[in-house]
Structure 1
């Protein structure tokens, strides 16, 4: 796991976009794992800027979102498939149908989850997965207590997650759905490269457990300690509880330029 502490969201977006750009340059038909929420927005904005400048194309690429609320109407502005389209997919040149998400309106939820797993597998698996992290250490919607080997499935959201997400629902916790579909921790762990972004003091406790704590289902993101290629991009506030932060800074400063993240 590589930990990179950067100045601000702009630097985080730039470094993550460098990794996506390098991937698309060597593999134009790459498969991207797309997270919603506030953390990845600087990445998407930077990628859009590079697309608009003619520096990269998503024409052959595929995208799979991490999760979806259960029961939100197809035209609801906070439906994650709608959100990812608004903040990223519609702003670049993905082909029609190239970005998929779990079907939160499916009549047969288990079948829909199995179909989503099969679609990711049929696409060749995710080459680069963008992640955020919740204040309780969840990734995707894998709440504390999730199996470290879990696959795409329905989950009940904790009250803390619903409180955290209420800002997207006019600060009305009761408007936040109770259930979601999410890629499992086992599914996420199969991505070839994972780029996790965290900013702000509110994420410092979760980041501490992610990077320096024991692997535990109580902090689901810690499963990433077993992954061979994880990059954690942080600002100073999110890194404030890391005991080895000076070492992480020194390591990143000393990297050869060709290595990337």
Structure 2
């Protein structure tokens, strides 16, 4: 794996189109990124998806984990059933997920539009509208990955001793106060892991938007990974594609490092 990583770094400093001899251009490819409207659009879309993963998907996963762990799901058999149910979307092929949601989002006979029609609302072009396409992809991403993240939180909750919750109850703390002052602080390492992982994987987002919309309509769901694929494997601009790939890695590393730094500052 080391050779293609280093060779891509080398190519990012060259103009390497097609199968001709690469020409050294220094930082030319990286300067072009800052002036490329499609790259900036892809960066914007990917960042929006990343923010949704952090601020929508992760809290939902935490709520599901707390719900399963709490009195709301009282029996151990049900708890195991919900764990298995939440894990199934993650192990389902993304091709199958995309095919299924193409049917769900279908403007003519899709499940969502059938529901809207039943309550007297107009039908929507979920994957065909530039305004709705990215939110639709985000919804599919939440459905696919919320389960595995809830299992991470469940593992963290199971490592919190019950004695701490019992002591909080003895001191008169209700469930809400216990959650914010006992459970949440002890879950900080798991929260950090989930957030950093969501950041890194979100900036590599490719399969779902590619299979659902192909990056359209009008680049509304174009991500950095799709743009890299188009540049490298359709336009055969290997140098510029390498620069896109390294920009993705640098952005994800910089954000993850910032999250780690803030976490350590909060721990002091």
TM-score range, shorter chain: under 0.3
Structure having the larger proportion of residues in strand: 1
TM-score, normalised relative to structure 1: 0.26
Rg comparison, structure with higher value:
2
Give the number of the structure with larger relative contact order, counting CA–CA contacts within 8 Å between residues 6 or more apart.
2
